[in-house]
Chains A and B, each alone.
Chain A
Amino acid sequence: MTALQQADLLGRRAVRESLRTPEALAPTLFIPVFFLVVNFGQAGEIFPSDSTPFLYGQTYAAFQLPSSLLLAASFGSAALYLVEDIEGGYFDKLRAAPVSRGALVLGRLLAEGLKTAVLTVALIIIALPFGVTIASGPAGFVLLLVLTSLWGIVFTGFMQLIALKTRSAAATNSGGLVFFPLLFLTPNFVPRDLLTRPMEIAATLNPVTYVMEALRSLILQDLQWDVLGRGFGVVAAFGALMLFLNVRMVRRYD
């Protein structure tokens, strides 16, 4: 059996795990929707669609949607399930089986990617009444799903590292909070060129910025390959790094 087949089996198990704990899914949907509604409610009047060039004719909700998508993708609940497996001994059971160490890591990450795709679809549907459309069309919609899911995999990979290192649910949960400063050091409310100079520098150094700009371009404009290239480049680079570090951590796990 190949490592990919093993990852598929473990991924299916992780999907079952998520489906059997719907209560854990609720905050992943509710909090991003809350941010979308509140931010749109607070700033929608300041940025009217007909006189705000960076909205490309859409409402401010369309500008805000990428933040909510990234937030939904960054809960990393798979890492908390991993801590449960570690504490309960199931992780050792898997480690004592001839399962590829890559598959042990990848199974959960693939399931998290799938879960993120479903959440992305749900969030887009919820955003439709706020005047949001996907300007890049069906291809852009697919790219939006893929990019958000890949980001979910990257961030879950980061949280899995904390889980494997600390073996503690509390530490893993706290590690996830890192995403909030990263989210707010992006062109979250206005485009990068409208930020103050220090914020612009911070946003430029922040990799999340490029994923957010790529997602935003898919919602507001036609396919912008240069922006998309940067966004996908970030998830590819960080995804490879997270996979490498996770596999190394499992191999050295004592």
Chain B
Amino acid sequence: MNALAIEAEGLVKQYRGRSGTVDAVRGVDLNVSAGEVFGFLGPNGAGKSTTVRMLTTLLSITSGTARVAGIDVAADPDAVRRRIGVALQEAGLDHRQTGRELIVLQARLFGSSAAEASARAQELLELVELTEDADRRVKGYSGGMKRRLDLASALVHRPEVLFLDEPTTGLDPASRLSVWDEVRRINQRGTTVFLTTQYLEEADQLCDRLAIIDGGRIVRAGTPSSLKKELRERLRLPGDAPDPTLDEVFLDATGRTRERVAGDVQEVTA
């Protein structure tokens, strides 16, 4: 495997519409090492999902280059697809199939024989603890179960790089913790994880390094601790003051302000 699992240079995405050109991503540079969990944070509309969609071959790249698992995304998208797993913001599932059918089909599309696909489905259903519900139609699954099934279906071919786009959005706390456990387990098996999230606690808990994107540009990048340290030094906080949180790093990076209103209620304003 290449030492860098993801490399992007000057990645740009423009949409042309009736009202003119919209710059969704304005020149993103990224370097993600093999084996790490990389967090990609940003407010709504910052360009997180657009970047992920370009890296996963789902969107054309307006300009710039991207290599995933050492392969140029634009030049050989099919080779990239063989090496990545993708679980997008909306759990991409077919609600009329059962969980098992869905994973078997996915495995077969990646080239497994019927027997291999069946065995792999069982293995993955056990991994995400869905064996009891495997033969029920996905339509009846809870939000957390759908997320776990989506994760499992992204792993059928043992991808080198796993892209997770806001995998816990809309989940209750218990389901969120369960997805975190899965992500850790997957990463421990050697898979590089590229995780977009709006939850700063999630990034703090899971990510080795992270980048914050705002207005289509990377505005901060580093380990969670280095980013906190950098902010502490820049704000010249006294030695006995608590370390800045990742929330504060995020707010500082994106130019938002936080005002404490009526005790613990926090308001974020642009």
User: How many Å lie between the Cα of A93 and that of B163 in the bound state?
Assistant: 12
A96 touches B (CB below 8 Å): yes
Query: Is the CB–CB distance between A90 and B93 below 8 Å?
Result: yes
Query: Is the CB–CB distance between B60 and A94 below 8 Å?
Result: no
CB of A13, distance to nearest CB on chain B (Å) = 6
Which of A16, A89, A91, A94 has a CB less than 8 Å from the CB of B109?
A94
Query: Is the CB–CB distance between B81 and A92 below 8 Å?
Result: no
Query: Is the CB–CB distance between A90 and B94 below 8 Å?
Result: yes
B256 touches A (CB below 8 Å): no
The verdict on A93 contacting B153 (CB below 8 Å), with A16-B96, A88-B93, A98-B81 known, is yes
B197 touches A (CB below 8 Å): no
B245 touches A (CB below 8 Å): no
B185 touches A (CB below 8 Å): no
CB of A227, distance to nearest CB on chain B (Å) = 40
The verdict on A13 contacting B88 (CB below 8 Å), with A20-B96, A88-B93, A90-B93 known, is no
Query: Is the CB–CB distance between A9 and B109 below 8 Å?
Result: yes
The verdict on A96 contacting B56 (CB below 8 Å), with A13-B97, A16-B97, A85-B94 known, is yes
Residues of A within 8 A of B58 (CB): 92, 95-96
Query: Is the CB–CB distance between A96 and B57 below 8 Å?
Result: yes
Query: Is the CB–CB distance between B101 and A16 below 8 Å?
Result: yes
Query: Mostly helix, strand, loop or mixed at chain B's interface?
Result: loop
User: How many Å lie between the Cα of A225 and that of B22 in the bound state?
Assistant: 56
- Kindly report which residue of chain B lies nearest to residue A17, judged by CB atoms: B96
Which of A1, A6, A92 has a CB less than 8 Å from the CB of B92?
A92
Which of B79, B81, B89, B91 has a CB less than 8 Å from the CB of A97?
B81
Query: Mostly helix, strand, loop or mixed at chain A's interface?
Result: helix
CB of B167, distance to nearest CB on chain A (Å) = 13
Residues of B within 8 A of A17 (CB): 94, 96-97
Residues of A within 8 A of B90 (CB): 88-89
User: How many Å lie between the Cα of A38 and that of B94 in the bound state?
Assistant: 39
Query: Is the CB–CB distance between A1 and B96 below 8 Å?
Result: no
User: How many Å lie between the Cα of A90 and that of B93 in the bound state?
Assistant: 5
Query: Is the CB–CB distance between B109 and A1 below 8 Å?
Result: yes
Query: Is the CB–CB distance between A96 and B93 below 8 Å?
Result: no
Query: Is the CB–CB distance between A93 and B86 below 8 Å?
Result: yes
B255 touches A (CB below 8 Å): no
**Sample of 18 further A-B pairs with CB below 8 A, known A89-B91, A90-B93:** A1-B111, A9-B108, A9-B109, A13-B105, A16-B96, A20-B96, A85-B94, A88-B90, A88-B92, A88-B94, A89-B90, A91-B92, A92-B86, A93-B92, A95-B57, A97-B110, A98-B109, A98-B110
Q: Interface residues, chain A, CB within 8 Å of chain B?
A: 1, 6, 9-10, 13, 16-17, 20-21, 85, 88-99, 254
Q: Interface residues, chain B, CB within 8 Å of chain A?
A: 56-60, 78-79, 81-82, 84, 86, 88-97, 101, 105-106, 108-111, 137, 153
